[in-house]
Amino acid sequence: MGALIARVMSFIRILFTKTANTSTPEGRGQERYRHAAWTTLVMLAARVSNIITGVLSVPITLHYLGQDLYGIWMALTGFIAFLSFYDFGIGTGLRNLLIECVAKDDSEQPKQLIGTALLVLSGLAVIMIAVAFFVLPYLPWAELIKCKDPASAPHILPAAQAVLIMFAVGLPITQLQNIANAYQRGYWGYLCFLVGRIMGFIFVIWCVQARQPLWMLAGGYVGIPFLITLVGWVFFFVKVPLLRPWPFWFELGTVRRLFGIGVYVLVHHLSYALINTSGLLLITGTIGASSAVPYSVTQQMLGVSNVFVGSLLVSISAAIGEAWHRQEYDWIQMTLHKMEKTVVVLGAIPLFFLLLTGQYIVLWWTKTPAAVPAFSLLLACILVTCFSLAGDIYSNSLIAMNYVRFIALTKLFAGFAVVAGGLVAGGYFKSPSFIVFVQFFAGSFIPAVLFRIKMKRLLQGIDQRDALIPVSGVSVNC
């Protein structure tokens, strides 16, 4: 408890301690901590608001829409979550290239990078909007989404079009977050998301009170955060004219650089999703749907418990990337050491508490004895969470340092190992605990160890392979 209080007080002091001199490595290091602290705080507030508004919106919208229309809305928003891969990793590629510009004090390339990325993403958005108008009307929606009430079926197409169009409009707009992260001002983008999510929730309440159709409710809930972010763009570019992407032009070499990083980011995202979703699918497929309930409930409980640590890991990665390109290796080592201790104090210790009390919490929460996980399953899930957090310390940092290929390929092989081992464990032992232990060993423990070894070798100057380094405007593998 003393260590926990000390960490929290240290975090608060960093928020309000501004370094006057950023021309020295020490001054830059203190500023990185301060910006990361503010980003973590605002990101945490945004995530908490997202959870709260999501919980509050369920009874309101379910009562208004009914089961059919509410199910349609959930299906469409779930599909939108899948479409987050649609930018092909360009956003992360843009962030990484801008991090290099920050480290090199380059004030010319950012406009070209931002302008080209926005142009490419706007092109992808136009394609998506065209699909909404010219492809979606011909899909067999009545077969894709089953409705008990035939009167609900006509609502599917306009709702799907509204949600898809809003997502497409937001595709280039949301790059404000990647730009702000690169300049270690991520709190700006998360503040826009925080305000946008609250405004979206208010819009949903208005739609319910005014008896508006599903397409307006769903489209507004998805689109309003993007509109708020667009307002944030205006204020951001007024404050930072250096990053205004005009004159607007297209540069083929920049596109190659963006996609050179983005293709591995896409592989990483798909592999990450495979590792995290395979447990539920393997339990359902090899044992049965009812056996997946304790696992699913446990995962939700553990996810809420690590919101703060996850936010902190995301916010510090861009700072480590910038320090890497400035060759300030001592600061990186010190920061990684601090992050390890933070994960133990703020991550592992609360998870140990959940190991002792988790079964009682789930029973009180669900009022369903069948949803309570066995102790072995609870232990396995906690081990997955702990070592995933430990691995994220290094994987997020290595990605910001442009070692994306190494992370992507490691995660890809880990995902295949989890699926193969989980099928054997589920088919032979018929136990969810064995499946999750496979997920822990192959999907969390081994990648975390490999990422830590890679980082250690890099900081010692032993291993410089697998970096995506831009040379003459083209990203090449070294």
Q: What angle do CA 447, 453, 456 make, to 5 degrees?
A: 140
Asked if 35 and 15 touch (Cβ cutoff 8 Å), the reply is: no
Measured CA to CA, the distance from residue 281 to residue 289 in angstroms comes to 9
Task: Return per-residue pLDDT of the chain as tens, 478 residues.
Answer: 665 566 556 656 666 676 656 677 777 888 888 888 888 888 888 888 888 887 788 788 888 888 788 888 877 876 776 676 667 788 888 999 999 998 888 888 888 888 889 889 999 999 999 999 999 999 887 777 777 778 888 888 898 899 999 999 988 988 888 898 898 888 888 899 899 999 999 999 999 999 999 899 989 988 999 999 888 888 887 888 777 776 666 678 888 888 888 889 888 888 888 888 788 888 888 888 778 888 888 887 887 667 777 777 888 898 999 999 998 999 999 999 988 888 887 778 888 888 999 999 888 877 888 888 999 999 999 999 999 988 999 999 999 999 999 999 999 999 999 999 999 988 888 889 999 999 999 999 999 999 999 999 999 886 666 666 543 333 333 3
Return the amino acid letter for 360: Y
Which tokens sit at 150?
A: 């035939």
> Contact, 65 vs 155, CB < 8 A?
no
CA 184-270-112 angle, 5° bins: 40
The single-letter code of the amino acid at 2 is G
Contacts of 406 (CB under 8 A, 6+ apart): 398, 454, 465, 466
pLDDT digits (tens, 9 = 90+) for 238-263: 888 777 776 666 678 888 888 888 88
DSSP label of 373: P
Phi, psi (degrees; rounded to nearest 5) at 332: -65, -45
* CA-wise closest residue to 109 among 100, 122, 118: 100
Tens-digit pLDDT profile for residues 346-398? 778 888 888 999 999 888 877 888 888 999 999 999 999 999 988 999 999 99
Q: What's the pLDDT score for residue 263?
A: 87
- % helix / strand / coil in the chain, to the nearest 5? 85, 0, 15
149 three-state secondary structure? coil
Q: Is 327 buried (19+), middle (13-18) or exposed (0-12) by CB count in 10 A?
A: exposed
Q: Show me where the domains of the chain are located.
A: 2-250, 258-477
Residues forming a β-bridge with 470: 475
Cα–Cα distance measured from residue 121 to residue 29, given in angstroms and rounded to the nearest whole number: 33
Q: Copy the structure tokens of residue 398.
A: 């290595």
Would the pTM of this model clear 0.85, i.e. be above it?
A: no
For the segment 165-178, what is each residue's pLDDT rounded down to a tens digit?
Answer: 999 998 898 888 88
User: Could you give the maximum distance between any two Cα atoms of the chain, in Å?
Assistant: 68
* CA–CA gap between residue 162 and residue 158 (Å, rounded): 6
